Amino acid sequence: MPLFRLKVDEHRWVQDRLSLYLDNRLEPEERARVEAHLRGCETCARSWETLRWTVQAIRALPPVRAPRSFAIRPEQVASVSQRGGWLRRAAWAMAATLILVLGLDLILSRGPAGPAPAMAPAGAPATEAEQQALRALKDHTLTPSPAPMFGLSVPQPAPTEAAVERRPGAEEVPPQAPALPLSPLRALEFLLLLGTIGLLALDRWRSGRLR
Amino acid sequence: MSPPAPAPDELRLIEAARSGDLEAFNELVRRYQDRLYHVAYRIMGDHDSAADAMQEALIAAFRGIRGFRGGSFLAWLTRIVTNACYDELRRRRRRPQSSLEALFVVDQGPEAEMLLPPVEGPEFYAERQELADWIHRAIQSLPEDQRVVLVLSDIEGYSYEEIAEILRVPLGTVKSRLSRARARVRDFLLAHRELLPGTIRPS
C-alpha cells in the first residue's frame, strides 16, 4: 500500500520537525508543509499542541537560586593548583625515571667488565665478598655452559656459590641475558616512555576542556 | 533569557582575574552564580551534586582562565559547569550504589526558600510548584546528552548556535537532541497526566 506508507511517513516527517517549527527554525516551504499537515491531521495537531504546552511549562519553571555563595577562597585555589598539576608532575617524574633507567641500561650494556667500577661509589673499596663474587661471575661468563639452564637437575658448585654471593648490581648481567629478545630493562624503558606520553596527553586533554 | 551583553566593567574584571586577582574572579562568580547553579541543578537533579559540580567547575575556571578567548564569559563558564556535571554524572555511574540510592531518594525539587518569591496567590503557587516538580522529574528521566541540551535551550534560553559552541557538537546534533528531549518530556508528562494539577494539565 504505497499511499498508506506515504501517509505514515508524512506523520513521521512532521513530528520530527515540530520542535524546529516551534523555534521558527524551518525553511518557508517546510513550514508551509508542516502547517498544511497540521490543518488536516488531528493526531499531529494534538501532538503539536501538547509539545507547545510542554515547552511553555519548561520555560516557566521557577528559577533556582544558588543556595550559598560559590566565591572561591584562596586556600581552595592553592590546594587545587597543587592537585591540578599532578598529571604533569607525574609525567615529569616518569620521564626522570626513564632517563635513570636508560643510564643504568647504558652502563650495564658496556659488558661484564664494566659493572664493578661503574657501580661502586667513588673511593669505596670493594668488599672481599664482592671481589669474590665478581671473580666467580667472570669465570662463569668466560666459560659458557648450559649449567644455569639445568641448574636444578645438575648442581654445579661454582655458579651456585656465585649466585649466593652476588650483589644486586651484578645481578643485571646473567650469562643468558643478551640472548633474550627483550630484556626486562628494555621492557621497563618502553613502559616508562608509554606512561610519560600517556600522562602528558591526559594533561593536555584536561586543560583543553577549559578552552 | 539569552546571555546578557558583557557589562562595561566585565572585561576589566576578566583581565584582573587573568592576572591572578581572585577577588575580581569572585565578583564575576557572584554575578553569574544563580544562572550557573540553575544549569547545574537541572542537569544533576539534586542540590548536593549541583553544588559539588559548581564548586569544582569554578575552581577549574579560575585555574584555567587563560583558556578564555573572548566572547561571552557566561557561556564560557556554562561550558565548564556543564563539563563538570558530565564528569560528576560519569563518576556517579562508576559508583552503582549511588545511582541505586538515587532511584529511591526522589528529590522533591527546589526548596521553597530557594525559589524567587511567588507573585500569584498561594493556590496557584502550590499548583505551579507541583507542576515544576513533575517537569523536574521528567527532565531527570532524559538521557544526559538530551537533558543538557534541553536545559541550555529551554531553561537558559541559549540559541542552537550557542549550544553547539558550548558543547562543541554540530548544529544538527543540537537540533535532534532537543527535538527528542522535548518529545520525551511531553510523553512523560502525558503518561502522568492524571497526577498533574487539574487546572494546568495539558488538554
Q: In terms of pTM, does the model score above 0.90? A: no
Partners of A51 on chain B (C-beta within 8 Å) are 182-183, 186
Of B60, B186, B200, the CB nearest to A51: B186
Partners of B128 on chain A (C-beta within 8 Å) are 60, 62
Average pLDDT value over all residues in chain A? 75
Give the DSSP letter of residue B6.
P
Helix and strand counts by DSSP (H, E) for chain A: 9, 0
Q: Which residue has the cell 587573568?
A: B18
Q: How far is A106 from chain B (nearest CA, A)?
A: 41
The 3-state DSSP class for residue A64 equals strand
- What pLDDT sits at residue B34? 96
Which amino acid is it at B81?
V
Q: What is the average per-residue pLDDT within B107-128?
A: 55
Asked if residues B189 and B196 have their Cβ atoms less than 8 Å apart, the reply is yes
Asked if residues A48 and A18 have their Cβ atoms less than 8 Å apart, the reply is yes
Is the pLDDT at A179 greater than 50? The verdict is yes
- What pLDDT sits at residue B52? 94
Is the pLDDT at A96 greater than 80? The verdict is yes
- What pLDDT sits at residue B61? 95
* Residues B201, B33: Cα–Cα separation, whole Å: 32
Residue B76: closest C-alpha in chain A = A211
Of B37, B67, B155, the CB nearest to A61: B155
* Residues B98, A60: Cα–Cα separation, whole Å: 31
Lowest pLDDT segment from A84-88, A199-203, B102-106? B102-106
What CATH number was assigned to the domain covering residues B1-107? 1.10.1740.10
Complex prediction ipTM: 0.82
> How many Cβ atoms are within 10 Å of B129's Cβ, its own excluded?
17
- What pLDDT sits at residue A162? 46
Sign of the CA dihedral with B29 first, then B31, B37, and B39 last: negative
Q: Domain extents for chain A?
A: 2-59, 85-119+127-208
The 3-state DSSP class for residue B121 equals coil
DSSP secondary structure letters along A90-132:
HHHHHHHHHHHHHHHHHHHTT-TTSHHHHHSPTTPPPPHHHHH
Chain A interface, Cβ < 8 Å to B: 15-16, 18-20, 22-23, 25, 49-51, 53-55, 57-72, 74, 76-77, 80-81, 84, 207, 209-211
Q: Domain extents for chain B?
A: 1-107, 114-203
* Residues A187, A181: Cα–Cα separation, whole Å: 10
Average pLDDT value over all residues in chain B? 84
Measured at the CA of B32, the angle between CA B31 and CA B34, to 5 degrees, comes to: 110
* Residues B158, B151: Cα–Cα separation, whole Å: 9
Are B183 and A77 an interchain contact pair (Cβ–Cβ within 8 Å)? no
Q: How far is B110 from chain A (nearest CA, A)?
A: 7
Measured at the CA of B140, the angle between CA B135 and CA B142, to 5 degrees, comes to: 105
Are A207 and B128 an interchain contact pair (Cβ–Cβ within 8 Å)? no
Q: How far is B102 from chain A (nearest CA, A)?
A: 21
Is the pLDDT at A3 greater than 70? The verdict is no
A–B CB contacts, 8 A cutoff, strictly below: 133
Bridge-partner residues for A64, per DSSP? B115
Residue B115: closest C-alpha in chain A = A64
Sign of the CA dihedral with A173 first, then A174, A179, and A180 last: negative
Of B34, B41, B182, the CB nearest to A54: B182
Of B36, B58, B189, the CB nearest to A54: B189
Q: How far is B104 from chain A (nearest CA, A)?
A: 23
Asked if residues A40 and A73 have their Cβ atoms less than 8 Å apart, the reply is no
Q: How far is A193 from chain B (nearest CA, A)?
A: 28
Domain made up of B114-203: CATH architecture: Orthogonal Bundle (1.10)
Q: In the structure grid, which three cell numbers stand for residue A142, read together?
A: 668466560
Which amino acid is it at A34?
V
The 3-state DSSP class for residue A148 equals helix
Report residue A6's pLDDT band, with 50, 70 and 90 as the boundaries: low
Q: What is the average per-residue pLDDT within A158-177?
A: 49
Give one word for A198, left, alpha or beta, with left for phi > 0 and alpha for psi -120 to 50: alpha
* Residues A149, B39: Cα–Cα separation, whole Å: 68
* Residues A18, A12: Cα–Cα separation, whole Å: 10
Is the pLDDT at A133 greater than 60? The verdict is yes
Of A16, A62, A84, the CB nearest to B132: A62
User: In this structure, what are the phi and psi dihedrals at residue A64, rounded to the nearest 5 degrees?
Assistant: -105, 130
Q: How do residues B58-94 score in pLDDT, each as one tens digit?
A: 999 999 998 898 889 999 999 999 999 999 998 888 7
Q: In the structure grid, which three cell numbers stand for residue A48, read together?
A: 503539536
